[in-house]
Amino acid sequence: MPVAGLVLTLADHEGLRGAAIATFEGDARLMVGALAQGGRLPVVTDTATLREEQDLWNELARTPGVLLVDLAFHDSSDAGEFTSAELPSKQRREER
Amino acid sequence: MERRDLLKLAALSAASSLASRRALAQVPSQGAQPPALDPSIAARTGADVVWNKAPCRFCGTGCTVQVGVRGGRVVAIAGDRLAPVNRGLLCVKGYHVGLALYGTDRLTRPMLKRNGRHEPITWPEAIDVIARRVMANPRGFAFYGSGQWTIPEGYAAQKFMKGGLGSNHIDPNARLCMASAVTGYMSTFGVDEPYNCFDDLDHADVVVLWGNNMAEMHPVLFSRLIDRRTRGERVTLIDMTTRRTRTSAFADHVLLFKPHGDLALANGIAAELLRRGTLDRSFVESFCAFRKDKATPDLNGEAMTFDEYRQRVAPYTPERVEQLSGVSAADVRMLADLFSDRSKKILSLWCMGMNQHTRGTAINRMVHGVHMLSGHFGRPGDGPQSLTGQPSACGTAREVGTIAHLLPGGLLVANAEHRRIAEEIWNVPAGRIHPTPGYHTVQMWERFSTAHDRGGDIDTIWVQVTNPAQSLPNLEKLFAPSRAMADKFLIVSDVYPTATVRAADLILPSAMWVEKNGMTGNSERRTQQWFKMVNPPGEARPDVWQTIAVARRLFELGHPGMRDRDGAFLFRMRNASGAEVPAWDWAHFADVNVDEQLFEEYRRFSTHKHKNLAPYGEYVRARGLRWPVVQRDGAWRETRYRFVGGEDPHVAPGRRVQFYHSVTHDDRAQIWFHDHVNPPEMPDAQYPFWLCTGRVLEHWHSGSMTMRIPQLRRAMPNAYVEVNRDDAARLGIRDGDTVTLESRRGSLSLPAWIDGRGAPPPGTVFVPWFDERLMINNLTLDAHDPISKQPDYKKCAVRLVLARRPERTP
């Protein structure tokens, strides 16, 4: 059940910025903090799995009006989804 | 309130702090030491999470993280707001550092290769196998580590080799990383490591990046810099680079130069300063001397006069520099304008771009020289500083001296007095330490991959904390051949099944990061300490225990080197009441703080080259201390700027600047002249492209840890080749096409990314090296700097062939 604190940097455009904040405030997976100078918005994500968390972050990054997504805090008590790397396939040729 | 609600409040607090940039604007007090845990975090997460401090496991920045542990597992990470380096921030790797412990394929049992298969064995069996290999041929044994060794781990390995076996065949991966910075510092100032510190980031008016993609490689430091702009400060950023990167997007000037063009640029700035008469005559006359290479380059070179220097540098007019470097004459003059203006404070930063260079020592010396010639030296924000890529490249490789020619504390194996000092501290018989430097990295692996009857006199290598099967250059020559030789034996201590582990004869599972006590030293001379917080998985054990256990087995087998002058074991540990504790026995390893005992012995070396370290307990209390740390007015005080009066306690009272380790023994630093020379391999008709290799933000080193962190792996899942848009159009390459890269040493197929994260100029391609499935070092060159012996991963010649176009849905 990962929890993360993110900082979203929002566009200067008032309409876009307002729409983005309204969207986030209506999303139960998010806790939204106070907008700071420079259009920086603190947001907390609360999801069931790391994969859902990553999907949510990607969704946030794609939201119109969001320029940057930075991470400030991460609780990783639900780690353990890792699947082993594929075996390496070395490709090389003999020295010519 | 539920624990989960507390966690969310902690996350909101951290994000709000970052959003308001309060963290970066606050400079933590240099006075009283803050508590080990950040009370603002601890208060919000409840009593079931125990927090403590540790430096991040990854790069050389040395960010302090707050590590939250619940139920014997690291469950949370937060930036440490009381840390002077990162002031609450962490990069995307740092925030996920806790997950590096929990890849599902951690190594948990020792394994020995039998009949082509790795089979589990016991620890005593594994230790015995190593000891008997060493006993059979001590001179054929080598130790290969890295700047990921903690200070006590590196010190134990160093003492085992040089004080025990009397062999200097120990070298770190740091040889591939910052050896040219070492030789640059030593031949300029007479002693290694930066004189300045990260405080410069808060004071510089101009920052010049010499081939350094700081936005991705040292993102927290870069954030500190860029954040000053958001607070309304004027900071001019000059990005001198061979390809556009994320850093370039923030730069006021992007100066794209041809590979090796940095040599011409440094000479061009110097020539303009002399032609205009804007050099700082007072600084140069008071504190500098001039030097050039002998016919055969070495560390010391030979003296020359100022007039000779002037004559040699004069031909580097802006127009000639433009021809050699590709940077316009106008931009060369712009750089000279900046260095001519002493009202501005100029900070030069560099990392692999200048170090992984067949003229790495030369360009390091020359950048120091430009600063001294112009007098941009000695004030906060005004000087040259190298950055490092590994968490303890400075603390362990350079300061403990796990390098083939060094002893701890900057002492040299070739110096009889230094050997005497080391033998005294280690209490070993006179003559125990071999007077000849051991094999450097490339030599060591070349001899391991060469048959014994052809001069391959290294037959056993023990690798700890690094992954040479991926990180060495020209792998087909340096690594692969040994794996087909029956008498060559590779021992690897690691945490995951890396490329090197899979090729090993004996695998030892290691504890990592907060699964053990540790100390590291970052790029600004800051030594940091942490305590073990969780247990390692299975039978994994700390590297320092492994080294001591092998030493003890050798002692039992009768190896004379494992005894001191009194016949006692080399690694004797004592408890508080003075009784001996058998720390080599795993059952008793935790009975004493082995790190503390090794560190207290090691720090006796630190006074000889004025790199004074404080007692262990001081580091327990601090978020790191920058050496020299000396006791004044009853307190242990760190040093921000070496060689500078009023800052460095070793500078004589009343002196403005004193280079007290001067190679000319007159308190002067050396300004070196070097000509521009072409790289050893350049694009030609057959191989028409430059290949540059490097790292990306999401992955660290060979990716063995970060590729096991789901978020980082998803963010950057595989290596790629960056191709210039015009080159791609000419060759019919589209985004995502599979392209085959071929050099004279090997080939590799990987997806093309046209003007992706970076944008190479026409005729250049870039490939990151973190992906073990796409080993770019099969193509790179093993040519190296003649003095530092550091290979050049940044430039060799390749060609591109379109191999396959992915099927696209209509």
Question: H/E element holding A41?
Answer: strand A40-46
Contacts of A6 in chain B (CB under 8 A): 15
- For residues B11 and B691, what is the distance between their CA atoms, to the nearest angstrom? 42
* Secondary-structure breakdown of chain A: helix, strand, coil percentages, each rounded to the nearest 5: 25, 30, 45
| A31 contact residues in B (CB cutoff 8 A) | 8, 11-12
**Token pair of B649 as six digits:** 């306690």
Q: Do the Cβ atoms of B605 and B598 come closer than 8 Å?
A: no
Same domain, B518 and B419: yes
Q: Which residue of B has its CA nearest to A32?
A: B12
| Confidence check: pLDDT of B532 > 50 | yes
Using the 3D structure, point to which of B359, B386, B413 is the last residue of a domain: B386
What single-letter amino acid sits at B507? I
- Confidence label for A93 from pLDDT (cuts 50, 70 and 90): very low
Q: What is the mean pLDDT of residues A73-96?
A: 44
Rounded Cα gap, residues B351 and B213, in angstroms: 9
pTM for this predicted structure: 0.90
Give the domain-ending residue among B386, B420, B439.
B386
Q: Is A81 inside any structural domain?
A: no
Q: Which CATH number do you get for residue B441?
A: 3.40.50.740
Q: Who among A72, A81, A90 is closest to B775 (CB)?
A: A90
* pLDDT higher at A71 or B85: B85
Q: What is the mean pLDDT of residues B106-131?
A: 97
**Distance from C-alpha of B476 to C-alpha of A94, rounded to nearest angstrom:** 8
Partner-chain contact B7 A75, CB within 8 Å: yes
Answer yes or no: is B506 within a domain: yes
The CATH number of the domain where A22 resides is what? 3.30.70.260
Domain shared by B433 and B372, yes or no: no
Per-residue pLDDT tens digits for B191-243: 999 999 999 999 999 999 999 999 989 989 998 888 888 778 999 999 999 99
Neighbours of B643 (CB within 10 A): 27
Would you call B323 a catalytic residue per the annotation?
A: no
Closest by CA position to B540, among listed B590, B495, B585: B495
Task: Identify whether A7 is part of a domain.
Answer: yes
Pairing of strands B288-292, B302-304: antiparallel
Q: CATH code at B320? A: 3.40.228.10
Q: Give the residue numbers spanning the domain of B358.
A: 179-386
pLDDT of B21 reads 64
Q: Specify whether the CB–CB gap between B224 and B198 falls below 8 A.
A: yes
Query: Measured between beta carbons, which residues in chain B are less than 8 angstroms from residue A61?
Result: none
Question: What order of strands is seen across the sheet that includes strand B506-509?
Answer: B117-120, B111-114, B506-509, B489-494, B460-464, B141-145, B170-172
Q: Does some domain include residue B492?
A: yes
- The residue behind tokens 């300061």 is B399
Closest chain A C-alpha to B787 CA, distance in angstroms: 27
The residue type at A39: G
Joined tokens for residue B17: 């702090």
C-beta of residue B195 within 8 angstroms of C-beta of residue B641: yes
In a domain, A57, yes or no: yes
| Residue that is last in its domain, among B577, B605, B633 | B605
What total number of domains does chain B contain? Answer: 4
| Pick from B754, B759, B767, B692: nearest CA to B728 | B754
pLDDT over 50 (residue A86): no
If asked whether residues B211 and B322 sit together in one domain, one would say: yes
For residue B43, give the CATH number of its domain: 2.20.25.90
In a domain, A21, yes or no: yes
Shared-domain flag, residues B295 and B440: no
Q: Supply the pLDDT for residue B45.
A: 64
Contact predicate B324/B186, CB 8 Å: no
A32 is in which domain, residue-wise?
3-75
Token pair for B106: 């951690």
For residue A73, give the nearest of B15, B744, B748 by CB distance. Answer: B15
Q: What is the pLDDT of residues B718-742, one digit of tens each?
A: 899 999 999 999 999 998 899 999 9
Determine the pLDDT at residue B673.
Answer: 98
Distance from C-alpha of B373 to C-alpha of B767, rounded to nearest angstrom: 37
pLDDT, chain B, mean: 93
> Is residue B145 a contact partner of residue B438, using CB atoms and an 8 Å limit?
no
Work out the percent of chain B whose per-residue pLDDT is above 90: 84
CA distances from B263 to B313, B367, B369 (A): 11, 9, 12
Q: Is B449 helix (H, G, I), strand (E, B) or coil?
A: coil
| C-alpha–C-alpha distance, residues B674 and A15, integer Å | 58
Q: How many angstroms separate the CA of residue B134 from the nearest CA in chain A?
A: 32
With a threshold of 0.90, tell me whether the complex ipTM lies above it: no
Relative to beta strand A66-75, strand A30-32 is unpaired
Helix, strand, coil shares of chain B, percent, nearest 5, are 35, 20, 45
Instruction: Based on the fold, state whether residues B173 and B183 are members of the same structural domain.
Output: no
- Could you tell me which residue, A61 or B155, shows the higher pLDDT? B155
Strand order in the sheet with B302-304: B302-304, B288-292, B669-673
d(CA B70, CA B91): 23
- Answer yes or no: is B706 within a domain: yes
Q: Are B794 and B259 in contact (CB under 8 A)?
A: yes
Alpha-helix runs per DSSP H in B675-770: 710-715, 725-731
**Given this model, what pLDDT does residue A89 score?**
35
| B776: its two tokens | 């770019």
Whether residue B408 sits in one domain with residue B301: no
Does one domain contain both B403 and B329? no
- Whether residue B405 is predicted with pLDDT greater than 90 in this model: the reply is yes
Residues B254 and B124 in one domain: no
Each residue's pLDDT tens digit, B7-31 = 788 788 878 877 776 555 555 554 5
* Chain B contact for A31 (CB, 8 A cutoff): yes
Residue A89 lies in a domain: no
Instruction: Indicate the pLDDT class of residue B130, thresholds 50, 70 and 90.
Output: very high
CATH number at B728 reads: 2.40.40.20
Residue A88 lies in a domain: no
Q: In what order do the strands lie in the sheet with B625-626?
A: B518-521, B526-530, B625-626
Does residue A91 form part of some domain?
Answer: no
**Does residue B470 share a domain with residue B563?**
yes
State whether B173 and B193 are in the same domain.
Answer: no
Strand A66-75 versus strand B50-55 pairing type: unpaired
Based on the fold, state whether residues B191 and B170 are members of the same structural domain.
no
Instruction: Mark residue B525 as left, alpha or beta (left: phi above 0; alpha: psi -120 to 50; beta: remaining).
Output: left
Tokens found for residue B423: 């033998």
What's the total number of domains in chain A? 1
User: Do B173 and B184 belong together in one domain?
Assistant: no
Size (chain B), residues: 810
pLDDT in tens, B248-274: 988 999 999 999 999 999 999 999 999
- The CA distance from B501 to the nearest CA of chain A, in Å, is 13
B444 and B126 Cβ atoms separated by less than 8 Å: no
The SS3 assignment for B68 reads: strand
Contacts of B590 (CB under 8 A, 6+ apart): none
